[in-house]
Structures are given as structure tokens and as C-alpha cells.
């Protein structure tokens, strides 16, 4: 039992380390150093139902999120973009793809109303932490519905700075 | 009227220069702890209370000569206060004691000292650091009693609510202890920091100094709200103070302290930054009321920061400003483009055509110029495009329909707004005139060889008086709009207003006259007369309009 466990672990870590972004350890002075660390930890021990993939740009992540409860069986994609001022400023995070979850804090353009992405951001939060928070607000939802002011988001570009946002609900 | 006129000969400009002197001669006044005391007691200016407190202040601050000179305000003034208890009504023009509101101007540096002395009282009393005391006081809006009450009630709750709990109970921040090397910073993820490269507040969340610096720069860059910034660790409520800023990033400390000082004045109901552009002075008053003239030339009401507006109260003025903002454009347009049908009083816009109008409502045919029936018109009155008859307007006050009421209300508003606006324009004009007055004074002096510079000062005094009159007149219309008519007070008020208006126009005429024709004695006399009328109308309002 124990041996299988360790073997799967080493297998996944081996796969994770295949990622071209982790091939070469960056020096701590590099501006991508923290992101590489974050990505390594995400790939090595991904939280349940979350899977990260990174293209050529280390600063843009796509996280596949498998829904539970009211979203059972649905898969959503989160796009996380880290600006040059990250981690001083929060990353820009929104849902992409055809399937935008129907949730009272998720606008139909993909924007997510979450204080952690605006006034509640702290520099010691991580991309993975944000993804887990979003997963938890989805899975704790009792019903599917759009935000009351959703109509305002139609045609709005998602992922803009949430500096001036007012958050309706402090529980999320 | 004539009796009281002489009692209140009191020059406003004198008062402001007096304040200047007071400020220079007794700067310790700003720091005196007693004053801190009294400031705290009447911080909530329930105005009825402010009457009693004024007496107290007189006892507590012997340096304040004004309060001392008249510890018990005479009953007349007191009753005026009571009936207009939320009003800064012309007190500085009218009060027998020269400065009952304890008005003074302070430099930012003096305010800093005042703030510091308040903080020091708290540090002595509670045995906490200055930084913590500052945060606590700020959270209680600089009201010492409120803070002490809360603190005595539940010190831990008070501290944690303010975000300084671990600063008081923790072991102190600074460079973190721990192993010499190999410390990890959770922001940049580097894990090879020596312990002296790390920094933490007493909450214990340590980050490298570089990340701290970046964090503070970003917070201070966000603006005045930076004084409420908390620890970079998510969810940690520990508030950042001047101590951390000066430990980590001294370069943004001046900005941080300035924001702190700004918030001190903004939270303080008894003080206000001078709204003048680029001016950094602070005006304060013991009662929270009063008008003050800053050294930069800006005159303002301490309570609302707008230009002095007696006899109108601050709340009424705010209502009026909002109303005018919503309606002034409409009002202007209505006044400029419409007239009322002389028969049914519907407002009609004439956008083209001749003067022969047919009302769409009542089919009355009339002349646009004189508003008389069209059948009285013809070639003899000037034809279709001219009219030499006189205008007349009437209204039926007995019509009780909603439309009629709404129309009457609109007309009432337009009546006051029109005059308010006209005096406002005239005030602006007079201000422009003041700028040219000096030139005129030089001309006047040159015209007559034995005239000295002092002899031509009357021209400046007259223009300044004119500006003040226009300002007061302007606000008398706002006041009258909100004035409820009972026992004929409105009529009496309007009588005062009319007199002031009449003589102001006269003064305006005299002071704008050609220099060759100008008679100095006339101007000087008229300035004095008008001054008395201004004081009269303000005194009339201040004394409760004869109700008592």
C-alpha cells in the first residue's frame, strides 16, 4: 500500500518536473522566481479537482476546475494572469471558455466578484490559494443564479483591476 | 433700530487680524493641554451645550482673552443661539465679545504638535506606545473620553478592534529572532535570508525588508487610506503605524505622517483645512461654528467649508446647493426662454415667429412683449414685431389643483433663485472690481496732489463692503426660501432685506462712478450705512427674529 502510494507520488512529481518552466531552477533574484516556486508546489501536490497547465508564458496559468454539488460533472477553466507588480498587486483572474459557472458572484463575462482579488488581496496569498477560494465559493453554492447586476458586465472586458469594486457579500 | 446699531459697530477685518496676532503672540495656546481638554468635551457640537461650554472654556483657558472678557454671554445673544442652535449665524459679526467661538488659524506644524500632545496624554495614562495611542485615538475620532470609556470597559476588545492587540501584548517586532540564515519570505518566496534581512510586526508575520518596502510603497501610493493598512499577511488585522514605516521605508514616512495629520483634522469636527488652493493652514474653533478669514485670503465657514453664508444655516445651504445643482440649469432655461400666458399662466416657450402668441392651453391671443391681449395691438403699438405697451403679470393664489401648486412652487423657487443668482453674479463682479480698485486708487491720488494713500483707502473699503453685502444678500434669498412665515416675520425680514438691497445698489453705483465725479464723503457715508444694514439683518436673524 505504502509503496504504491510513494510510487504514484514519484510518478506525478516526475511528470510535473517535465514542465519546461521547472526544468531550470531560477535564481531568487529573477522576477519569475516566486512564480516558479508556486507552480512547482501546485504541480507537485495539486488540491483535489484542480489541475494547472501553463503554456509558453509562465505568467499565464489555466486551471481546470471540476465542479461539485450543484455543478456536479461540469468542468470550468480559470485564467490567472500575473502582472509585473505581482505579488504586490493581485493577479487578474476570470473564467474562460464556453462554460462560465452560473453563480451569484460570477458574471457572465467570466469576472469573479471576490474581495481577495481587490481590496482583500495580501501579498502572501498565492495563485493556488485564489483557485482554492474560488473552488470553495462554487462548491458551497446552494443554487445556480447570476449576480443581480450581471447585465452591467455584458460587453465588459473581464479581468480588469478590481481596485474600486465594492463587494456585496463578505462571506465569499 | 438706531439704538442697537451703535452697539454693534464691529469691523470684521479687525477680528481676523486680531486672530493673526493672537496666533503669533501665544503659540503655546495651540499646545496647551487644557485646551485639549475642552476640545474633547465639546467635540460633539450639540449647540445648546456649546452655550454652557463656552463659560467653561473661559475658566479653563485663562489665555483666551475673549472668553474671559465675557464668560456669560448676554441673554439676547444666548436666546438667538437657542433658536438657531445649528447655525453659525453671523456670530463673528455680531457677538459682543470679539471672538466667542474661539476661532484661530494654525500652521500644519502647530496642528501636528496639538495632535502629538493629545497622543502623549494617552500614552501617559494607558502606558502604551505613541504609535498605538495614535491608532486608538484615530479609531475613536480623537475623542479622548470615548477612547477611555471603551478601554476601561474592555481593553482587549478595544485593542483588537483597532488592530493593535499584539503591539501591546506581543513581544515587539523589528528584526525577527530565529536561526541566523535560511529564513523564508512568503512574498518573494526566497528562502535564504539572514534574520536581520527579515522584518515583522509584533504579530509575527515576517517578510524580507525588500518586500516590506515594496508593500509600503504601494500602500502609500494608494493615497490617504494607507493609514489603515494592515500586515501583508492575509487576514492579519495588525495595523501599520509610523514605527514600521520609519523602520522599513523611511522615504515614504513624510507622506504617511501627512496623511495621518490630514485624517486628524478631517475627523475633528472643530477644525478644518483651509479650502484655499495650495493653502496648508488649519482653522479651528472651540464651538465648531464661525467664519474665519485665512491668511491666504480665503474666507470660509468652519462647519461646512463653504464661503461664509449667514444668515442661512449650513444644512439649509447644503439643501439649497443641491436643489440649485439639480434645477439651476432648468431654471435658467425657463427664465431665459419662457413667459407665462397672461390668462392661464402656463409657461410658454417662444422659439420663433412674431409677437402674436396664441396659447395652446386656453387659446388666448396675446402679445409676447407686453403680455396684453392681442386685440389691443395694431399698427399704433408697433405692429407684429414691436410693442410699446407695458408688461404686467398676475397669478391666482386660490387655485388649489396640484398643477397649480407645483407651478406656484416652481415660481417661488425661480423667484428666489433668480435673485440669489443675480447677487452671486454681482458679488463676482465686485470681486473683479476689487482687483482694479488699487489702480483706481493710484489714479485718484495722482489726480489730486495733496491726497495721501490713506485718503484713498475709502475706495477699497467700499468695494470690500460691497462684496460682503452681495454675499449676505445672496444668502438672504436662500434663507428666505426656507423661512416659514409666521407672525409676519417674513415681512419684517423682507423689509430688512429690501433696505439692505436698496443701499447696496446705491453703494455699488457710487463706488463705480467716474473718479472725477466721485464724492469721497458720499462713498464713506454710504459704506457706513450699508455696514449697519448688514449687521442689522444678521442681528435680527441671530436674535431669533423677535419671536421670544
pLDDT digits (tens, 9 = 90+) for A104-147: 888 888 888 888 888 888 888 899 999 999 999 888 888 888 88
Which domain CATH number covers A11? Answer: 3.10.110.10
Q: Is residue A122 included in any domain, yes or no?
A: yes
Same domain? For B364 and B466 the reply is: no
Does residue B312 come out as left (phi exceeding 0), alpha (psi in the -120 to 50 range) or beta? beta
Whole-angstrom distance, CA of residue B463 vs CA of residue B437: 8
Same domain? For B28 and B102 the reply is: yes
Q: Is residue B335 included in any domain, yes or no?
A: yes
| Residue B211 with chain A: CB contacts under 8 Å | 123
Q: Which residues lie below 8 Å from residue B495, measured CB to CB, with a gap of 6+?
A: none
Q: Assess whether the previous peptide bond of B346 is cis (omega < 30° from 0).
A: no
Same domain? For B327 and B273 the reply is: no
Same domain? For B17 and B101 the reply is: yes
Contact call for B234 and A125, based on CB within 8 A = yes
Whole-angstrom distance, CA of residue B41 vs CA of residue B148: 13
| Residue B233 with chain A: CB contacts under 8 Å | 122, 124
The residue from B301, B325, B347 where one domain ends is B301
Measured in angstroms, the CA of A153 and the nearest CA of chain B are apart by 26
Give the per-residue pLDDT at B178. Answer: 54
Which has the closest alpha carbon to B187: A142, A139, A121? Answer: A121
CB crowding B243-255: b at 16 or more within 10 Å, else e:
bbbebbbeebbeb
Q: Is residue B138 included in any domain, yes or no?
A: no
Q: Which residues lie below 8 Å from residue B296, measured CB to CB, with a gap of 6+?
A: B274, B276, B278, B279, B281
Sign, CA torsion B302/B307/B313/B316 = negative
Q: Which domain holds residue A37?
A: 2-153
Residues of chain B short of pLDDT 70, as ranges, are 1-98, 170-179, 328-329, 332, 336, 351-353, 378-403, 546-548
Q: Is residue B122 included in any domain, yes or no?
A: no
Which domain CATH number covers B492? Answer: 1.20.120.1750
Same domain? For B364 and B321 the reply is: yes
Q: Which domain holds residue B24?
A: 2-107+269-301
pLDDT digits (tens, 9 = 90+) for A33-52: 888 888 988 988 889 899 89
ipTM for the assembly: 0.73
Mean pLDDT over all residues of chain A? 81
DSSP structural state of residue B234 = T
Whole-angstrom distance, CA of residue B267 vs CA of residue B146: 14
Give the per-residue pLDDT at A109. Answer: 86
Q: Is B18 on the interface with A (CB under 8 A)?
A: no
Same domain? For B422 and B375 the reply is: no
- Tell me the residue ranges of DSSP E strands in B475-537: none
Sign, CA torsion A148/A151/A157/A161 = negative
Q: Is residue A87 included in any domain, yes or no?
A: yes
Q: Which residues lie below 8 Å from residue B314, measured CB to CB, with a gap of 6+?
A: B86, B87, B88, B301, B303, B304, B306
Give the per-residue pLDDT at A64. Answer: 92
What are the grid coordinates assigned to B482, written together?
426656507
B365-372 contacts: CB < 8 A, separation 24 or more?
B366/B341, B366/B342, B368/B339, B371/B339, B371/B340, B371/B342, B372/B342
Reply yes or no on whether the pLDDT at A61 is more than 60: yes
Q: Which of B181, B182, B183, B186 to mutate to test the interface with A (most CBs of A within 10 A)?
A: B186
Same domain? For B349 and B420 the reply is: no
Q: Which of B203, B314, B354, B387 is catalytic?
A: B354
Same domain? For B297 and B324 the reply is: no
Q: DSSP H helical segments within B26-129, as ranges?
A: 28-31, 33-41, 47-60, 65-69, 75-83, 91-94, 108-126
Same domain? For B423 and B470 the reply is: yes
Q: Is residue A172 included in any domain, yes or no?
A: no
Contact call for A124 and B235, based on CB within 8 A = no
More reliable by pLDDT, A53 or B69: A53
Report the number of distinct structural domains present in chain A.
1
Same domain? For B491 and B446 the reply is: yes
Q: Which of B234, B238, B252 to mutate to test the interface with A (most CBs of A within 10 A)?
A: B234
Same domain? For B447 and B524 the reply is: yes
Measured in angstroms, the CA of A34 and the nearest CA of chain B are apart by 5
Q: Is B67 on the interface with A (CB under 8 A)?
A: no
Contact call for B211 and A123, based on CB within 8 A = yes
Measured in angstroms, the CA of A134 and the nearest CA of chain B are apart by 16
Sign, CA torsion A155/A159/A160/A165 = positive
Measured in angstroms, the CA of B197 and the nearest CA of chain A are apart by 15
Q: Is position A113 annotated as part of the catalytic site?
A: yes
Q: Is residue B146 included in any domain, yes or no?
A: no
pLDDT digits (tens, 9 = 90+) for B74-131: 333 333 333 333 333 333 433 435 677 778 888 888 888 988 998 999 898 888 888 8
Same domain? For B361 and B296 the reply is: no
| Residue A122 with chain B: CB contacts under 8 Å | 232-236
| Neighbouring C-beta atoms of residue B313, cutoff 10 Å | 22
What are the grid coordinates assigned to A80, written together?
490567472
Its pTM stands at 0.60
Report the number of distinct structural domains present in chain B.
3
Amino acid at each position: 500500500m505504502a509503496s504504491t502510494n510513494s510510487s504514484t507520488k514519484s510518478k506525478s512529481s516526475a511528470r510535473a518536473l517535465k514542465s519546461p518552466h521547472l526544468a531550470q531552477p531560477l535564481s531568487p533574484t529573477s522576477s519569475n522566481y516566486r512564480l516558479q516556486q508556486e507552480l512547482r508546489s501546485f504541480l507537485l501536490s495539486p488540491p483535489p479537482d484542480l489541475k494547472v497547465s501553463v503554456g509558453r508564458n509562465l505568467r499565464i496559468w489555466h486551471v481546470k476546475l471540476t465542479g461539485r454539488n450543484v455543478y456536479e460533472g461540469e468542468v470550468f477553466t480559470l485564467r490567472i494572469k500575473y502582472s509585473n507588480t505581482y505579488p504586490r498587486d493581485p493577479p487578474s483572474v476570470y473564467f474562460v471558455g464556453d462554460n462560465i459557472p452560473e453563480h451569484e458572484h460570477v458574471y457572465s463575462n467570466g469576472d469573479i466578484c471576490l474581495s481577495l482579488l481587490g481590496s482583500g488581496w495580501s501579498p502572501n496569498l498565492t495563485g493556488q490559494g485564489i483557485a482554492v477560494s474560488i473552488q470553495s465559493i462554487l462548491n458551497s453554492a446552494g443554487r445556480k443564479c447570476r449576480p443581480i447586476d450581471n447585465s452591467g458586465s455584458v460587453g465588459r472586458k473581464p479581468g480588469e483591476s478590481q481596485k474600486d469594486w465594492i463587494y456585496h457579500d463578505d462571506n465569499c | 433700530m438706531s439704538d442697537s446699531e451703535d452697539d454693534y459697530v464691529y469691523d470684521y477685518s479687525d477680528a481676523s487680524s486680531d486672530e493673526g496676532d493672537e496666533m503669533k503672540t501665544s503659540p503655546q495656546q495651540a499646545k496647551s493641554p487644557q485646551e485639549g481638554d475642552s476640545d474633547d468635551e465639546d467635540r460633539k457640537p450639540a449647540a445648546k451645550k456649546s452655550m454652557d461650554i463656552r463659560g467653561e472654556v473661559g475658566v479653563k483657558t485663562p489665555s483666551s482673552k475673549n472668553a474671559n472678557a465675557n464668560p456669560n454671554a448676554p441673554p439676547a445673544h444666548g436666546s438667538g443661539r437657542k433658536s438657531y442652535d445649528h447655525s453659525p449665524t453671523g456670530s463673528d459679526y455680531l457677538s459682543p465679545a470679539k471672538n466667542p467661538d474661539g476661532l484661530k488659524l494654525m500652521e500644519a506644524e502647530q496642528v501636528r504638535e496639538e495632535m502629538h500632545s493629545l497622543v502623549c496624554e494617552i500614552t501617559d495614562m494607558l502606558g502604551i506606545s505613541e504609535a498605538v495611542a495614535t491608532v486608538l485615538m484615530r479609531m475613536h475620532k480623537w475623542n479622548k473620553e470615548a477612547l477611555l470609556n471603551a478601554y476601561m470597559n474592555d481593553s482587549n476588545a478595544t485593542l483588537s478592534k483597532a488592530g493593535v492587540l499584539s503591539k501591546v501584548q506581543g513581544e515587539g517586532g523589528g528584526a525577527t529572532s530565529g536561526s541566523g540564515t535560511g529564513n523564508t519570505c512568503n512574498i518573494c518566496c526566497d528562502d535564504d535570508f539572514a534574520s536581520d534581512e527579515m522584518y515583522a510586526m509584533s504579530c509575527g508575520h515576517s517578510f524580507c525588508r525588500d518586500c516590506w518596502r515594496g508593500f509600503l510603497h504601494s500602500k502609500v501610493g494608494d493615497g490617504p487610506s494607507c493609514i489603515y493598512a494592515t500586515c501583508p499577511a492575509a487576514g492579519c488585522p495588525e495595523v501599520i503605524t509610523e514605527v514600521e514605516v520609519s523602520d522599513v521605508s523611511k522615504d515614504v514616512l513624510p507622506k504617511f505622517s501627512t496623511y495621518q495629520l490630514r485624517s486628524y483634522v478631517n475627523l475633528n469636527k472643530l477644525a478644518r483645512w483651509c479650502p484655499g488652493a495650495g493653502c496648508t493652514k488649519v482653522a479651528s474653533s472651540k464651538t465648531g461654528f464661525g467664519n474665519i478669514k485665512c491668511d491666504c485670503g480665503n474666507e470660509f465657514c468652519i462647519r461646512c467649508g463653504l464661503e461664509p453664508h449667514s444668515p442661512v444655516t449650513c444644512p439649509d445651504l447644503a439643501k439649497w446647493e443641491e436643489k440649485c445643482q439639480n434645477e439651476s440649469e432648468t431654471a435658467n432655461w425657463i427664465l431665459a426662454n419662457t413667459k407665462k400666458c397672461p390668462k392661464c399662466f402656463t409657461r410658454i416657450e417662444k422659439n420663433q415667429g412674431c409677437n402674436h402668441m396664441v396659447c395652446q392651453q386656453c387659446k388666448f391671443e396675446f402679445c409676447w412683449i407686453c403680455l396684453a391681449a392681442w386685440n389691443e395691438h395694431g399698427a399704433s403699438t408697433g405692429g407684429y414685431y414691436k410693442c410699446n405697451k407695458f408688461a404686467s403679470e398676475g397669478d391666482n393664489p386660490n387655485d388649489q389643483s396640484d398643477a397649480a401648486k407645483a407651478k406656484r412652487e416652481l415660481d417661488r423657487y425661480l423667484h428666489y433663485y433668480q435673485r440669489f443668482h443675480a447677487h452671486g453674479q454681482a458679488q463676482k463682479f465686485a470681486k473683479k472690481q476689487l482687483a482694479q480698485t488699487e489702480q483706481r486708487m493710484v489714479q485718484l491720488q495722482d489726480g489730486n496732489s495733496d491726497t495721501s494713500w490713506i485718503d484713498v483707502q475709502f475706495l477699497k473699503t467700499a468695494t470690500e463692503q460691497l462684496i460682503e453685502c452681495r454675499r449676505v444678500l445672496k444668502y438672504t434669498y436662500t434663507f428666505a426660501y426656507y423661512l416659514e412665515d409666521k407672525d409676519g416675520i417674513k415681512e419684517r425680514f423682507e423689509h430688512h432685506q429690501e433696505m439692505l438691497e436698496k443701499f447696496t445698489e446705491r453703494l455699488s453705483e457710487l463706488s463705480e462712478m467716474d473718479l472725477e465725479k466721485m464724492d469721497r464723503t458720499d462713498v464713506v457715508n454710504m459704506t457706513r450705512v450699508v455696514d449697519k444694514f448688514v449687521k442689522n439683518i444678521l442681528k435680527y436673524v441671530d436674535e431669533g427674529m423677535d419671536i421670544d
